[in-house]
Chain A
Amino acid sequence: MRKKRLSLTIDGGRVTVDEGTTILEACQQLGIRIPRLCYHPELSLMGSCRVCIVEVKDMGFYMTSCSQKVWEGMEVQTNSPEIRQARRDIVELLLDNHPRDCQTCERDGNCELQNLAYAMGVRARHFEGRRKRFPLDLSSHSVVRDSEKCVLCGRCVRVCDEIQGVTNLSQHGRGFLTVVAPAHGAKMDESVCIQCGQCINVCPTAAFLEKRGAGAVWQAIADPRRHVVVQTAPSIRAAIGEGFGLPPGTPATGRMVTALRRLGFDAVFDTDLGADLTIIEEAHELLTRLKEGPLPMITSCSPGWINFLEKFYPELIPHASTCRSPMSMMSALIKTYYAKKKGIDPKKIYVVAVMPCVAKKYEARRPEHTIELGAGDRRTDCQSVLPSSDAAVAGGGQGVRVPLTDAVLTTRELIWMIKCYGIELVSLPEGEFDPPLGLSSGAGDLFGATGGVMEATLRAASELVTGRPADRLDFTEVRNVAGLRETYVAIGEHNIHVGVANGLTNAKVLLDKVKQGKEPFHVIEVMACPGGCVGGGGQPYPPEGFHILDPRLLAKRAAALYAIDAGKQLRKSYENPAIEEIYDTFLDGPGSAKAHRLLHTRYAAKLPRGIR
């Protein structure tokens, strides 16, 4: 049914729009950008900040253009001196209750409140009032909450509820003392927070930020006794260029590698290889599950999703693949296989992972992802590579338990480090990842986009199941998933029922179906963040012309990954010679007992339990 069309005038210009259009949307059709703060096109309307007010003839009061729908014959004025003054007053009042530390704030130059103040023409402070004071919440490994910078726009509350289905945040109290926090003002690490970091992404200011990791990394790099190794996730190469003015969707793999080498890392590895390894282990796990259950198998790469599973759907834990994430697989290999191959004491190796994700910072701190080194523990094959003097230093055969991954940096943090070092990424020559953990297939690159793990798994599983070379490599039916997709894929005599979800509200739909057991799935891919890792909580703030969670931006980043995959000779994880060598010389083959010890993990129900 066609919608009714309505005509109105905005600043004297006539425009005809569908019934149900808001004033703000109608203005966009005329190229008028109404200033806004709490409004976000991917979230529900709140109308709380009042920055987007406009004058409507005969109304006698200013209306919020984000929430007011147009009517036939409406006459809107967006730009009278009075309305500009009123907007400026609103922004000035917000600034009055805001710390004056722009120059030392991480969002400096990238802050919507700062941009608004500039655009509204706030050039002086006219109001001097009481300022809210709240302690900084540094409890979480991933997300820092600074309520003094909060403007109560409620975007974080809405993204946590509407997109992620977590509802960890709400506004507590009332009036001047209102604060956005988890229930009872609890610390983030005692809440149901799954550490996805979408609150960081949607925050217009710096009320939410990632926990900083760069300091420890600088220190490790400067320490000559340390062998500092870096690995970068698939989606970093698709987004890092945005931090240096490259258009979204520009792959910057080679330039990123060169930049990392210039930063002083001793070796630059590719998490894509970890992804290849994940595929092979997961495909074997799927084969076993096809015979023995339980089905469906749900992917386990996304640490935000794993946190959600443990807090919100613990009964489905047996369905999660036991595979560690590509990051943790890589780190395990670096501290065992690589250390052994190079004859480096694994205790001296410092593994840095650059991730699109803040939940990875938590994953790296999980006790499941640690390794005992230097205790004569044959399981890790480390004692044999320890020089005798170091074994003595290690405490007479006493092992030390160390994290597999020592530090996790977000894409944003890496961009900052490169800028801090004065490296001009755009003009750098192309570099290559280092052997023996630098070679990856195109399947590994796909991990950065929603449906990518599924596609890579199908690529591998189709050969494993049928025993014949795959008749196709592209499974476009699982690409560019707008939140949720279910489909069937024929592999040999199996008709595989697959589900792909990104954003945990979408994942809930599939998980509830699994619980009901009505439509038995075989494989489900869940990525916590919208669009998958390309939309991760650690990715760059959007460039001009895009907004956070913008499907166009996510599609451009994903397209970069598909282009990288299509441009590679090597597209199947199985054919990666680096992986073959690892299995032949170190892991005793896919799915072996040793592979299980190093590459698999376990999960457990966690409290507080979330309400789904």
Chain B
Amino acid sequence: MNPAPTCPSTDNWEEVRAAARYVLGEPIAEFIDACCRAPEPKSQLIAVLHRVQARFGYLSPAHLDAVAQLLQVPAATVAGVASFYHFFRLQPRGKYILNVCLGTACYVKGADRVAQRIIDELGITWGETTNDGVFTLEQARCLGTCGLAPVLMIGEEMHGQVTPDQVPAILEKYLKKAREAPAGTA
């Protein structure tokens, strides 16, 4: 009896595998290869996701699917883990991370009103990114500059003693910078 099929291959594994490697890039793909050679590759799922997020800033469905294929863990499981942990972000991050300090000092100095103004101006809420990809809104608990309360941190820059009325001008400054900067630079 001949168990070997004589017909053309109906397998798509090589294409699926190549596409997954392309999505993640070789360094991460090689890290997953190493995991697969070690005992219990599935136990490395979170370690792999950390690397993917470090490289791409967030975990897209395409990234998660690629991890699923290369690590051979069902995509539903990978996505379930990624969506459960607060650390993993499933949306791309904006060019500027806009951190509003809601620590005690900033809060009593009116950070909540500053925050509300930002939310109104940008039309996004905590953890979200504007459609133009410029801002991601985050909260901080303390930025260590309580003397300047209330404090905003945008990108690497601090803004102190911010009032709600100053918010539009501050945002505009970064929008302008984002428009002027060549694509792909921060």
Contacts and interface: CB of A to CB of B under 8 A. Distances in A.
Q: Which of the listed residues B2, B16, B72, B74 has the most CB atoms from chain A within 10 Å of its own CB? A: B74
B75 A517 contact: no
B10 A294 contact: no
Contacts of B80: 170-172, 183
B84 A517 contact: no
Nearest to B11: A315
Interface in A276-315: 290, 292-296, 314-315
Contacts of B78: 183
A173 B83 contact: yes
A295 B4 CA distance: 7
Interface in B41-84: 61, 64-65, 68-69, 72-80, 83-84
A605 B84 CA distance: 32
B1 A520 contact: yes
A522 B1 contact: yes
B182 interface: no
Contact of A183 (B1, B3, B76): B76
A183 B80 CA distance: 7
Contact of B75 (A173, A316, A611): A611
A293 B69 contact: no
A609 B6 contact: no
A611 B69 contact: yes
Contacts of A610: 74
Given A171-B80, A183-B61, A314-B11, A608 B6 contact: no
Contacts of B64: 183-184
Contacts, number: 102
Contact of A170 (B3, B13, B61, B76): B76
Given A183-B61, A184-B64, A314-B12, A294 B6 contact: yes
B84 A290 contact: no
A517 B68 contact: no
A296 B4 CA distance: 9
B72 A294 contact: no
B7 interface: yes
23 contacts: A161-B74, A167-B74, A167-B76, A167-B77, A168-B74, A170-B77, A171-B84, A172-B84, A183-B61, A183-B64, A183-B76, A192-B75, A192-B76, A293-B5, A295-B2, A315-B9, A315-B10, A318-B7, A514-B3, A517-B4, A604-B10, A611-B72, A611-B73
Interface of A: 161, 167-174, 182-184, 186, 191-192, 290, 292-296, 314-319, 514, 517, 520, 522, 603-605, 607-611
| CB-CB nearest 6 A-B residue pairs | A167-B74, A170-B80, A315-B11, A183-B75, A294-B5, A317-B10
